[in-house]
Structure 1
Amino acid sequence: MKISCLLLDDDPLVLELLRAYATMTNVLEIKAAFTDPLEAHQYLLENPVQVLFSDVTMPHLSGIDLVKSLHAPPLVVLMTAHPQYAMEGFNLDVIDFLLKPISLERFLKAVNKVANLLRGQTGALEPPPDTAAVWGSFFIRTDAQFVRLRYREVLYIEALKDFTRIKTADGRSHLTLVNLKNLEYQLPSGLFVRTHRSYLVNAAHIDSMNSLEVKVAGHALPLGQTYRERVTEQIVNSTLIRRN
């Protein structure tokens, strides 16, 4: 499904870069592109789009004022070289705030956020994990026996060098001679999320999170900086209730 967008930046060179980035995604459909915010405003009044990529500092009308002027604005990604505008932008519930110069990687992350949110709004979420997997089970070898564990009962998995420790909802811990990378690869996709180089967490058991940790059934587990954005997008953004 293509996502309709409008590109707005008063710098023609930046606008061309945005065009190139948008084309590379194979997801965005550029409905219009403007260097004049007043022209973009008039277009948006007459032509709905799903997402607006807008510069902040422009003559006559800033990107923030443009969004405020719209009765029903589309999803918004703001762009600027001035990070002091970030807080005001996020107070408008913008989807993302890109600092210039904008890399392709960072632009693609913003597009992913938009796509995930639109899937949630339309009910066309990414396919959930297979039901059989959610309610199914797997075996691990521990000591001299094989132990069956049910996916839904696993709280989190902790790396201990070549071993992993699996914590389950009944309070038990199971130690097995499989490293975390191999275990993560063999578990059903979507059920578990990597929150730290040493922790793999059952997404269904995450009760809360902040910038430093996630809470899982009363356990405070570290949230590594490398994994923070992906965890936020996968766990929070797809189901976050936002202001209209």
Structure 2
Amino acid sequence: MTQPLIHAENLHKTFPPAGAKGPRVPVLGGITLDILPGEMVSIVGPSGSGKSTLLYCLSGLEPYDSGSVQLAGRELGTLGRGALASLRRTHVGFVFQSYNLIPSLTARENVALPARLARRRTDRATIDRALADVGLIDRASHTPGQLSGGQQQRVAIARVLAMEPDIVFADEPTGSLDTATGADVLRLLRAAASKDRSVVVVTHDLEAAAIADRVLVLRDGTIHDELQRPTPGQVLEAIRTAGAVA
């Protein structure tokens, strides 16, 4: 039986109250899930349903209150800050809506930066291959300010691909992009989920959600529904059934 890259069991998370007093606010209410090697999983739901919080807890960016998350066989709740950072550098890649590129560095230098920070040897051929994979080898010497939003997001994806992580987490990766450019970015993420690498995407975009192998529909911090290779219409109907507004 295939071992999951991520296994979450009865995951709970709360946030402090907005004021100085009052009970903590529940965000995740007992989520259990597996992410298998090679699959793409989309997480959808209304604002406040816990989508991004779930992604951050699964990736080790956010601590959880109770339950268990195992990433690449390691229990995140038992790891200190340094060990968590090391685990993320080794196994995890992130793609965010804001790109997170260094303005003063070229596309090639931005792609190479994580390996340099992790003190890993990554040759120029590997960096250029990642840029070529996202169609930007001819922009390798350009800084982010000389690139469009879609090109900057593709540089961010190339940065992830060059590190060859086991799992890629993407939080609203097309939120700042027009429809056509967003579709290009989604195709790259879809292609990244292959062999032993998995991709988890949080999105409000029904088209983005529907390219995944599975779609998890969240409502009030729990998994309300799970869809296998759905159409955008089926995703919309599942969200409506959950009492959400797409």
Band of TM-score, shorter chain? under 0.3
Greater strand share, 1 or 2? 1
TM-score, structure 2 as length reference: 0.24
Structure of larger gyration radius: 1
Structure with the bigger RCO (C-alpha within 8 Å, sep 6+) is: 2
Taking structure 1 as the reference length, what is the TM-score of the superposition? 0.24
